[in-house]
Chains A and B, each alone.
Chain A
Amino acid sequence: MALADMRPPIESGCPDGFQYMHPVMVKNYGNWHYHEHPRPGVLLHVAHSGDKIWTVKAGTQRILDVFTLRKLCQIGDEQGEGFVRFTLRSNIEYMVADEAKVEPLIKALEDAGFVVGGTANSISTLSHTQGWLHCDIPGTDASGVVKAMMDELIDDFKNCRMPNRVHITTSCCQINCGGQGDIAINVQHTKPPKINHNLVSNVCERPSVVARCPVAAIRPAMVNGKPSLEVDEKKCICCGACYPPCPPMQINDAEHTKLAVWVGGNHSNARGKPTFQKLVAAGIPNNPPRWPEATAIVKQILKAYREGARDWERINDWIERIGWPRFFEVTGLPFTKYHVDNWRGARHSLNASTHIRF
């Protein structure tokens, strides 16, 4: 195509959401009074005007084929009112102003294989990254891990039996595109990258790769007469940060790329300030297609949380109250030297007191 035939873009940016919003939501924008939770998967919002809107939330496979997308639309037209939105965890929400539509909508979604739930103190859909399906640096799959885990956790998506909401996330490399979660299942590499020295000088901008290393373990070197890079394996923390800018520094390994589980990440300011997740388990095999070892640990943690936490305690609130020694006791997970953070700025994570629970 000649340049003259190319179509210049319309730089319209972020579209206006009001054009796609349910009319009751437009009318009562900024004037909502309170909400109720009539049953798992359903929210009722009441406006100061007295108007009401019901939301039915459902989990999907997230990677949608157009047939599934059309099925979701058809349900929205036939049983809903044609207005939907997607949550941060890729659940679909149908908004209706007519209460009589709620039950038929739930039935249509469930009949089509979708899962109604994910509200309040349930386990919502795992948020996930792209994994082997589409990422250029993944240590594991993402959609597959989520499918395998949600098969096991589905009853707690459909019910509200947890002390508070549970957000679980996954990340398929240590850059960690997945966010903080009450529980996070993330890739953890355990060996330094394997370097293909024949390719480095042609593929990689070497100074950028050197600069990318968090612990300054990479330096330029001549290998077999070619300019390349070498890694000080004593310093290397096996994070894989060099791999994206330099694909010949392969970090992924069928055996040594493992999974680690982190808990207590919480974005909300409710009760305490937002918290980062903390390491609790590692060395977990990256075991497709169903990752049973990782799922077993997640279920162990969830069981202890459900039995031990008080109403409204998120996982971080619960552990704050019972203490980390008790957490390792009730989950049966080992506490190792790898749990102790050991750089200058991490001193605040050491116990400089006699506050000990016996």
Chain B
Amino acid sequence: MADKHHETPMLDELENGPWPSFISGIKRLRDQHPEKRIRDVTNSLLGQLEHSYETRKGYWKGGTVSVFGYGGGIIPRFSEVASAFPESKEFHTIRVQPPAGNFYTTDMLRQLGDSWEKHGSGLVTFHGQTGNIMFIGTTSEGTQHFFDDINEYGWDLGGAGPCVRTGMSCVGAARCEQSCCSEHNIHRKLLNRFTDDVHRPALPYKFKFKVSGCPNDCQNAIERSDFAVIGTWRDDMKVDQAEVKAFVAKKGRQYVIDNVTTRCPTQAMTLNDDDTLTIDNRNCVRCMHCLNVMTKALSPGDDKGVTILIGGKRTLKIGDLMGTVVIPFMKMESEEDYDRITELGETIIDFWAENGLEHERCGEMVERIGLVNFLEGIGIDVDPNMVSSPRQSSYVRMDGWDEEAEKWFARKQEEKRARA
């Protein structure tokens, strides 16, 4: 090991302490990897990172790099201080779509690691904030070779730039009793309808799909995605009264009152004198709290489906937005249901692509044009589930009132007929 190393006194401090150290990991590549290319590139990377720690500045610049046939999927990085750290002067990240639910066999992880070692730095993250596997650090040429390699055994690039981004879904029905939909099927059905829009950035800005199997929203879909699919149910929750009694016997009445019934946001639960629960299901908002506390006694109902919220995003440019309910409930069982949800995705993306400004997220467009105009644009009727309350300001022109009221009654008639 005669390699000459950059000094890294500040990074060395991050090798102390009990939590696993990424610096020690990068140093292992620098010191122990049999291939000189990897030893050199990681040494150079550490040198540049130490320089950032000393000067408190970043030194990577973007650019344009992709693979043959695609326009995105790569985060290009060129060093601004390449003369001092030449071996990592090109250090691109390759975004690869994970399987729905983030499942892997150890064999597959090894195979991916072997491919990456051949063409890249040997550094990888499961997963980035958008949800991609991040293979961190290779040259423009290595980008193509690595992609060619893994693409042959089932892996495809994720989104980067103004395009449909890689989707995310929770562990869901694979291991969770709260799951109200087949998260992984919805995730794949949606994403793989828009494969072209993932690989060829041509939209106003990014567009994200995320799927959570229940309102606990472990996938952070409402706040972090333009198109949030959340599993829910519309019949009564299931109550196993014998298990309720067992829970009360084990934890005590006081615990159940303090931690279950009084925490219900709509006061829809009563603990009875015989230690059973009465649920006012008409007023249950499916918040999940009681089901989370009493997982054995309480379960979602049987009439399951999803709620869809549109327009969540983080700060840039107009501030953080939560998604807004656009579909209060839809079934997700038949082939037609799956077609309906992808058609909704198509309609919304098409409308936004037509009407969104450059670098404007879907939620920002909705904010600019108003929810009502957005709903008219995508052909969906207003519904009181879409608002927290009706308007407070009288400054609005309402000479279309009678027609609008008539539409409401006609819709209610139609729903009644459909139910009969």
Identify the stretch in A56-64, A224-232, A325-333 within 8 Å (CB) of chain B at 4 or more residues. Answer: A56-64
A28 CA to B71 CA, complexed, in Å:
40
User: Is there contact, CB below 8 Å, between B288 and A254?
Assistant: no
A114 CA to B25 CA, complexed, in Å:
13
Residue from A10, A138, A212 in contact with B152 in the complex, judged by beta carbons closer than 8 Å: A10
User: Is there contact, CB below 8 Å, between B68 and A16?
Assistant: no
**B59 surroundings in chain A (CB, below 8 A):** 132
User: Is there contact, CB below 8 Å, between B10 and A114?
Assistant: no
| B83 proximal to A (CB < 8 A) | no
A14 CA to B98 CA, complexed, in Å:
7
User: Is there contact, CB below 8 Å, between B113 and A32?
Assistant: no
User: Is there contact, CB below 8 Å, between B60 and A63?
Assistant: no
User: Is there contact, CB below 8 Å, between B287 and A114?
Assistant: no
Residue from B11, B123, B175, B359 in contact with A289 in the complex, judged by beta carbons closer than 8 Å: B11
A147 CA to B12 CA, complexed, in Å:
12
Q: Of A147, A175, A211, which is in contact with the most chain B CB atoms at under 10 Å from its CB?
A: A147
With contact pairs A13-B192, A45-B176 given, residues A141 and B156 touching in the complex (Cβ less than 8 Å)? no
Interface string of A296-315 (1 = CB under 8 A from B): 00000000000000111000
| B267 proximal to A (CB < 8 A) | no
| A233 proximal to B (CB < 8 A) | no
User: Is there contact, CB below 8 Å, between A176 and B315?
Assistant: yes
A133 CA to B137 CA, complexed, in Å:
10
- Chain A residue nearest to B141 (CB atoms) is A1
Q: Of B14, B69, B107, which is in contact with the most chain A CB atoms at under 10 Å from its CB?
A: B14
Using a CB-CB cutoff of 8 Å, which residues 220-269 of chain B contact chain A?
220-224, 230, 258-259, 263, 265
**A65 surroundings in chain B (CB, below 8 A):** 25-26, 28-29, 122-123
- Chain B residue nearest to A65 (CB atoms) is B25
**B23 surroundings in chain A (CB, below 8 A):** 144, 147
7 smallest beta-carbon distances between A and B, as pairs:
A151-B17, A17-B99, A132-B52, A269-B215, A65-B25, A150-B19, A73-B106
| B278 proximal to A (CB < 8 A) | no
11 other A-B residue contacts (CB within 8 Å) besides A176-B320, A310-B259: A10-B152, A11-B199, A15-B99, A15-B156, A16-B184, A45-B177, A66-B122, A80-B106, A82-B107, A132-B49, A271-B289
**B167 surroundings in chain A (CB, below 8 A):** 14
Residue from A9, A17, A30 in contact with B68 in the complex, judged by beta carbons closer than 8 Å: A9
A212 CA to B187 CA, complexed, in Å:
31
**B387 surroundings in chain A (CB, below 8 A):** none
| B174 proximal to A (CB < 8 A) | yes
With contact pairs A10-B152, A14-B99 given, residues A134 and B288 touching in the complex (Cβ less than 8 Å)? no
With contact pairs A83-B105, A136-B60, A254-B57 given, residues A312 and B218 touching in the complex (Cβ less than 8 Å)? no
| A103 proximal to B (CB < 8 A) | no
Cβ distance B235 to chain A, nearest Cβ, rounded Å: 17
A to B CB contacts below 8 Å, 10 in the list: A10-B152, A13-B191, A68-B25, A83-B106, A85-B102, A135-B60, A140-B56, A154-B18, A212-B359, A253-B56
With contact pairs A64-B124, A143-B22 given, residues A176 and B198 touching in the complex (Cβ less than 8 Å)? no
A119 CA to B377 CA, complexed, in Å:
44
User: Is there contact, CB below 8 Å, between A115 and B191?
Assistant: no
Interface of chain A: mostly helix, strand, loop or mixed? loop
Residue from B127, B155, B219 in contact with A15 in the complex, judged by beta carbons closer than 8 Å: B155
**A190 surroundings in chain B (CB, below 8 A):** none
User: Is there contact, CB below 8 Å, between A34 and B295?
Assistant: yes
Using a CB-CB cutoff of 8 Å, which residues 85-120 of chain A contact chain B?
85-88, 90, 92, 95, 113-115
**B137 surroundings in chain A (CB, below 8 A):** 134
| B322 proximal to A (CB < 8 A) | yes
**A21 surroundings in chain B (CB, below 8 A):** 101, 103, 174
User: Is there contact, CB below 8 Å, between B53 and A289?
Assistant: yes
Could you tell me which B residues sit within 8 Å of A by CB distance? 10-11, 13-14, 16-26, 28-29, 32, 45, 49, 52-53, 55-62, 67-70, 75, 77, 91, 93, 97-110, 113, 116-117, 122-129, 136-137, 147-148, 151-152, 154-157, 166-168, 170-171, 173-177, 179, 182, 184, 187-188, 191-192, 195-196, 198-199, 215-224, 230, 258-259, 263, 265, 285-289, 292-293, 295-296, 299, 314-318, 320, 322, 357-359
User: Is there contact, CB below 8 Å, between B220 and A85?
Assistant: no
**A25 surroundings in chain B (CB, below 8 A):** 174-175
Number of interface residues of A (CB under 8 A): 114
User: Is there contact, CB below 8 Å, between B105 and A254?
Assistant: no
**B109 surroundings in chain A (CB, below 8 A):** 69, 72-73, 84
**A179 surroundings in chain B (CB, below 8 A):** 129, 220, 223-224, 314
Q: Of B25, B166, B188, B223, which is in contact with the most chain A CB atoms at under 10 Å from its CB?
A: B25
User: Is there contact, CB below 8 Å, between A274 and B322?
Assistant: yes
Residue from A17, A55, A77, A270 in contact with B292 in the complex, judged by beta carbons closer than 8 Å: A270
User: Is there contact, CB below 8 Å, between A270 and B215?
Assistant: yes
A26 CA to B173 CA, complexed, in Å:
9
Residue from A247, A252, A312 in contact with B56 in the complex, judged by beta carbons closer than 8 Å: A252
Residue from A9, A64, A68, A154 in contact with B69 in the complex, judged by beta carbons closer than 8 Å: A9
**B113 surroundings in chain A (CB, below 8 A):** 66, 69-70, 73
Residue from B10, B14, B55, B103 in contact with A85 in the complex, judged by beta carbons closer than 8 Å: B103
